[in-house]
Structure 1
């Protein structure tokens, strides 16, 4: 009997609290989770128990929003967080975001390869470009235009991979009898000079069990597709519906083929958020509780929802705890400028109140399912079997209980349906992602 194709799962760690930046106020949450590295380790161990392929930490090295009422978007430092997790786990992959725009290739190569060796081949690098002026200011620079950012990215990744391969695979001899620690003929400078970056090398770190870290990419546009097609084995994407996800995944696969690669060697992870409850009503109540922590934000959300369906909605003109009046709905239509709009309009047409539609997460950054474990599993299965993705980068509304609930309640359903594995396929991230071994610059 042919083995069913199986999805892959990545747990997005955020800053220790979850997708909703009010989650720190939930009963049972640790308000100081931001600095409690034990909480990161605990969530990672739960994800490993659930056989997640990896945990993923996004990052922007700047304070990009007010912390007066909400938590940060990112951990204190992604590499240090993963270092702590690496020492307490055995199988789960460890993926961090670091920018090619404001980091030297040698530092990138050294940090990621060292962590890859320490973790026995479980590390991935999400290589991104950075346009945020706040980040540029932190590095004493000006924002870099898009073309230059991607030129720098191609250059940086190629140099990083050359440095990773500069200590050849059989260079470490450890010959106690002859006294030869390493064969220096096989640890050679790379002498690379580009337009933006240069390095002499070599990098004095031997290969890990997977050779070198897995490269990931996140970022759209033609430039992002080319970067992914040339270098990436994993892509983090943010589609809102099956059709656009299918199209994007196909485009990524085509890009890989254009660079002479097997399209099956590049995996797309779609962003996904969830709130779990014993019933859909219970899950919605949980999301409404999170919304109610900052009632001053609700007017802005209502207005934004109105712009999505081309109606001038406000908390003063409607009762947000009631369905929209039929005469209003007759004038509504989904904005072609916002891919989330059709879902918002559909829920309103079903007779849900405005508050409930917002609780369904229609203005969130990723698709949201607020419902039972079966409803969450149904969503993931539908997207996956439709070829909309190879897996998901999931983030619970609140991490303190959301990770455990997903592992204990959703994972068994996916495993029972045969679309998620029961055991890790190997000891390295490459083995568990089913992507080829690689060491040095990709030919």
Structure 2
């Protein structure tokens, strides 16, 4: 039986506002958060106060949204933002996404190992195989086939790990009396190459307190499972219910076993979105307030497509007509549909149905701290996950509300630790020390 207090939590910071596109307009928030590193630091320090194991910053190297009335989704540069945060925090892990498709192994190895040394062993790399056409255009390229992108990713990760280990442990001597800074016999080229990539090395950066950064993965399909099984210690996932979450976690664990690894060292962290208030009704009102700062026209149409009926924005404050309810049905290919259908059949207005988060990419828990904790306990105890990637609806108060009201409940129930297990991300996660390419 696993240790209940080993629940892992990653707090996602995004562009500094929160997952909801209207969060930047919330009263009390900071509309400059995207460019204000002080806002990031405050959120990070709050998460660290709650003993949350890691921060996570997603990234796509392209402008993916219309900025007319909503902010970017990702930070200006996740590595620079985390470097700022590293200097203002002491324990919390620092995980960023960088693509294996539109980068070079040497640069990625250098950036992450430098962050790892600067932070005293708290860095993690979420390795993703970007397939975004806008990102490809930014690099004067085309999106490669899925097969090529994943073949390249294997070479990329292996080269990065080899570069991380090219400055051997004990190489830095710092012998002032003899005038010997480092032992060059322990700093060697890697001279590795494959079908797509190669690197000579070495990387001129010593190991950190955890050896090298922790690798994370966030990709689907069999190819993603292989990357996770071979290299990852953390996997960001997007199941919508417990059965699919349990099935996915088991596939990840089986992949780890297939490649000779201990499956307990691969932590699966599905995302979810908490909207916290003192009552469930107040939480729904909070979500309606956030929705009021965005254009819901597209969401109304999406809900209609999900239920197989035409919906008009003009009817957003009315329940579905009896005629439409007669034809509405849950899409068997969409795990969100049954919940949407249930709420529609209760006679809720379209606005209220949307406020329950039925079309969000991750599950939305709008309610009291106890309800959020109940959701987390049910998933975790059932074996559906090893923890969660938290995406606050609005970060300026969502992070502190989670830390101040949900974390104590999880701790009281024996689900979450009361202090960090050590000083490094590997110690926080309970994964083994690694330095260099695992052979």
Asked whether the equivalents of residues 20 and 397 of structure 1 are also in contact (C-alpha less than 8 Å), the reply is yes
Q: Does 1:389 align with 2:382?
A: no
Question: Equivalent residue for 1:371?
Answer: 367
Match of 1:337 among 319, 327, 333: 333
Q: Secondary structure at the match of 2:338?
A: helix
Paired residues for 1:241-256 under 5 Å: 241-256=241-256
**Deviation (angstroms), 1:326:** 4.9
Deviations 1:339-396 (A, max 9, x none): 2112212222344332111001111111101111111111111111111110110011
CA distance in 2, matches of 1:66, 1:436: 43
Question: Equivalent residue for 2:39?
Answer: 39
CA distance in 2, matches of 1:147, 1:381: 38
Question: Equivalent residue for 2:395?
Answer: 399
- Report the CA distance shift for 1:168/1:355 in structure 2 as closer, same or farther (over 3 A): same
Asked whether the equivalents of residues 11 and 394 of structure 1 are also in contact (C-alpha less than 8 Å), the reply is yes
Deviations 1:271-321 (A, max 9, x none): 111111111111111111111123xx33332221122122222245xx443
Question: Equivalent residue for 2:288?
Answer: 288
Paired residues for 1:150-299 under 5 Å: 150-294=150-294, 297-299=295-297
Question: Equivalent residue for 1:302?
Answer: 300
Deviations 1:195-244 (A, max 9, x none): 11111101111100000000000010111111111100000001111111
CA distance in 2, matches of 1:220, 1:348: 31
Across the aligned residues of Structure 1 and Structure 2, the Cα RMSD in angstroms comes to 1.5
Q: Secondary structure at the match of 2:20?
A: coil
**Deviation (angstroms), 1:2:** 9.3
Asked whether the equivalents of residues 96 and 124 of structure 1 are also in contact (C-alpha less than 8 Å), the reply is yes
CA distance in 2, matches of 1:237, 1:352: 30
Mark the runs of 5 or more structure 2 residues left unpaired by the alignment. Answer: none
Q: Does 1:354 align with 2:327?
A: no
Asked whether the equivalents of residues 112 and 123 of structure 1 are also in contact (C-alpha less than 8 Å), the reply is yes
Question: Equivalent residue for 1:425?
Answer: 421
CA distance in 2, matches of 1:302, 1:3: 43
Asked whether the equivalents of residues 171 and 186 of structure 2 are also in contact (C-alpha less than 8 Å), the reply is yes
Question: Equivalent residue for 1:125?
Answer: 125
- Report the CA distance shift for 1:2/1:39 in structure 2 as closer, same or farther (over 3 A): closer
How many positions carry a matched residue from both structures?
Answer: 439
Q: Does 1:437 align with 2:433?
A: yes
Q: Does 1:103 align with 2:99?
A: no
Mark the runs of 5 or more structure 1 residues left unpaired by the alignment. Answer: none
Question: Equivalent residue for 1:24?
Answer: 24
Asked whether the equivalents of residues 5 and 417 of structure 2 are also in contact (C-alpha less than 8 Å), the reply is no
Question: Equivalent residue for 1:313?
Answer: 311
Q: Secondary structure at the match of 1:101?
A: coil
Q: Secondary structure at the match of 1:33?
A: coil
Match of 1:412 among 408, 414, 420: 408
- Compute the TM-score of the two structures, normalised by the length of structure 2: 0.97
CA distance in 1, matches of 2:299, 2:95: 32
- Compute the TM-score of the two structures, normalised by the length of structure 1: 0.96
Question: Equivalent residue for 2:134?
Answer: 134
Q: Secondary structure at the match of 1:393?
A: strand
CA distance in 1, matches of 2:149, 2:170: 35
CA distance in 2, matches of 1:258, 1:124: 24
**Deviation (angstroms), 1:325:** 4.4
